[in-house]
Amino acid sequence: MGYRRLGGWGLRASEISLGSNNFGTQVDRPLAIRVIDRALELGVNMIDTANVYTGGKSEEIIGEALKGRRDEVVVATKVGSPVVSNNPIGGGLSRKHIMWQFKKSLQRLQTDYVDIYYLHRFDPETPLEETLRTMDYLVREGFVRYVGVSNFDVKQLEATWRTCEELGLEKPIVLQPPYNLLRRDIEVEVAPWCESHGMGVAVYSPLQGGLLTGKYSLGAQPPEGSRAAYNPIYRERWLTAENLQRVEKYREVAGQLGVDLRELAVAWILSHRWVSTAIVGASNPAQVDENVKALEVNIPQSLLEKLDNQR
């Protein structure tokens, strides 16, 4: 396992982090704990979750799995997405909501601190100063080690950074955006901004919900139990003829390297120097092994250029 610093900061994360948004639903508690155990055995040191993942079950499972070894793992969770419908304080990034949900996350994770606390998405209805002063308080009191932001665009990053500098507040050290072979918009502005400001990038959705594992083919029905089989919104947005044709081209490149598509997709992400870690989920321990195998893949420059030309 390789480890990379989160931008210009001292925290080092495994190149593969464990995603957990399916813990407690598709992956039941005993199986999820086995997945976590296997990830830690292979050197994964960062586990990513959120207060809203599977209604809090994901955090609960992680807390149970990490008993006796909490300090050996970087635990990242998030706040901001709605947790209660029809409630004016049920979501967002107000001080009230952040403090409420942070307490809940600590209880579920069975810990007294969080390593990285992400703002899950930008909240245009709450003053940035209110949000950032609250996060700064959590860091200064020792409840949070580092602040992160997720799904922010460049304007939102700029505003956040400027507010922190003007007020002398703790700056975010890492951005969590979606990024994969089929979803590359952050390369234009976001990634260069993060690199120039020393901010780490922990990418999620590296396999685009399974589309880059090779399980879907043009003209074939989605496999039973797959995301596309039960999620029509995902199917309509991502299982397009254009995307499936691109996947076939990526599969050809993987074949030239003698690896599977999953390994190629993750290795390609990690070939970018500004990427700190790829957050990859797993439904069983064997998938953890498959994810980590991507670290053995070295993509020649000629094939990297070929992949770049197949946008």
Residue 267 is predicted with a pLDDT of: 98
Packed helices 241-257 and 301-308: angle between N→C axes, nearest 10 degrees: 180
3-class SS of residue 43:
coil
Q: Which residues are catalytic?
A: 53
| pLDDT tens-digit profile, the chain (311 residues) | 999 999 999 999 999 999 999 999 989 999 999 999 999 999 999 999 999 999 999 999 999 999 999 999 999 999 999 998 888 889 999 999 999 999 999 999 999 999 999 999 999 999 999 999 999 999 999 999 999 999 999 999 999 999 999 999 999 999 999 999 999 999 999 999 999 999 999 999 999 989 999 888 877 777 776 777 777 888 888 889 899 999 999 999 999 999 999 999 999 999 999 999 999 999 999 999 999 999 999 999 999 988 887 76
> According to CATH, what is the number of the domain 3-207+268-299?
3.20.20.100
- Please name the helix (run of DSSP H) or strand (run of DSSP E) that holds residue 271, with its range, or none: none
Residue 220 is predicted with a pLDDT of: 76
What DSSP designation does 249 have?
H
Query: Which contacts qualify for 53-57: CB closer than 8 Å, 24 or more apart?
Result: 53/20, 53/21, 53/23, 53/24, 54/21, 54/22, 54/23, 54/24, 54/25, 55/24, 56/104, 56/108, 57/23, 57/24, 57/25, 57/29
What DSSP designation does 311 have?
-
Residue 192 is predicted with a pLDDT of: 98
Residue 311 is predicted with a pLDDT of: 67
Residue 43 is predicted with a pLDDT of: 99
For residues 40 and 310, is the Cβ–Cβ distance under 8 A?
Answer: no
Residue 216 is predicted with a pLDDT of: 84
Identify which of 74, 36, 77 has the alpha carbon closest to the alpha carbon of residue 54.
77
Residue 227 is predicted with a pLDDT of: 74
